[in-house]
Amino acid sequence: MKPIMTNMTQPALPDAINGVKSTLTIKLKTTGEKERIGARIEAVMHNGSKVDSIFMYNTQYGYQPHANGCDGHWYYTPTYNSEHWKPEIFVTVTPRGLPADASVVELGTFTYYSPEGVPGVSTPLRVRAPFDPRVELNMREALLASWEDYASKRRVYSHKISLDLPDENVSYWRVSFTVAPGTILFKKPWTACTHNEDTGEIELTWSAADRKTSSERREIDFQLLSSSINYNPALAKLNTLQGHYIIG
């Protein structure tokens, strides 16, 4: 028997974030005839994304989640005021595995099935991935020296971080690491810096006055003053060292 559903499309691409619900609007086109009991539309998801709900206005509620916890179905049920498919159906999904490059990502497929179970028209379920301008920063760290500071009766650790940056158009970069409680910056670096004494995180940042100016200074020297005069091997290496930069 000729299927009632002739086309389905998703005209708009919502911006999406991993783990955050997003609602997709699907346009439906039919022959205009009454649908038969047993017809359904099925959403099959990819890569850990899941369907949270499927909804159609002014119809008998027909959503059923799949037992796999990811897919979902909408079963057509005629009512006294609704014997036809409505022009729109709304699919709420939770995306997973999105990249950070603003690309269009297919989360799954949305397919019409006749009452006999024959697949018909289909459309991909798509979102636009978020854009993260941050690029991971490759770095090398070295302990230059360590000595006793007799004035404070504490030990100094002299460090250097070398940055692997592009030659030009770097507008910002950030480096961070954590230190033990009681450790402070003894000699501060040439960069802007902050020290959160509650978490132990030290943050070093640089931002270009002219966004097209390259960052030529690629080495950061600084000294840490520990809470003890005894040598602590843990302070010879910067804990949780990480960083990123932004182009443009």
| Residue finishing a domain among 101, 128, 155 | 128
- 56 and 140 belong to one structural domain: no
Based on the domain organization, do 92 and 117 belong to the same domain? yes
Question: Looking at the structure, do residues 124 and 140 belong to the same domain, yes or no?
Answer: no
Pairing between strand 88-94 and 104-113?
A: unpaired
Give the pLDDT confidence score for residue 77 in this predicted structure: 81
Say if residue 119 is in the same domain as residue 139: no
Q: What is the DSSP secondary-structure string of 138-194? A: EEEEEEEEEEEETTTTEEEEEEEEEEE--SS-EEEEEEEEE--TT-EEEE--SSEEE
Determine the pLDDT at residue 209.
65
Domains held by the chain: number: 2
Question: What is the pLDDT, as a whole number, of residue 171?
Answer: 86
- pLDDT by residue, tens only, the chain of 248 residues: 788 999 999 999 999 999 999 999 999 999 999 998 899 999 999 999 999 999 998 888 899 999 999 999 999 987 766 778 999 999 999 999 999 889 999 999 999 999 999 999 999 999 999 998 989 999 999 999 999 999 999 999 999 999 999 877 888 899 999 999 999 999 999 999 999 999 999 999 998 864 444 456 789 999 999 999 999 998 999 999 999 999 87
Residue 144 and residue 124 in one domain: no
CATH number at residue 27: 2.60.40.680
Which residues is 245 bridged to in the sheet? 135, 173
Q: What is the pTM of this model?
A: 0.66
Q: Which of 95, 112, 128 is the last residue of a domain?
A: 128
Note whether 111 and 149 are same-domain residues.
no
- What is the model's pLDDT at position 81? 63
Give the structural domain span for 193: 135-247
105 closest CA partner among 217, 6, 10, 186: 10
Tokens 């940056």, located at residue: 165
pLDDT of residue 150: 92
Final residue of a domain: which of 109, 128, 147? Answer: 128
Q: Which helix (H) or strand (E) holds 135?
A: strand 135-136
User: 224 and 145 in one domain?
Assistant: yes
User: For position 211, what pLDDT does the model report?
Assistant: 46
Tokens of 191: 């960069």
Q: Are 40 and 59 in contact (CB under 8 A)?
A: no
Residue entry with tokens 């991935």: 129
| Same domain as 48, residue 10 | yes
Q: Are 91 and 19 contained in the same domain? A: yes
In this prediction, residue 247 carries a pLDDT of 85
- Whether 122 and 217 map to the same domain: the answer is no
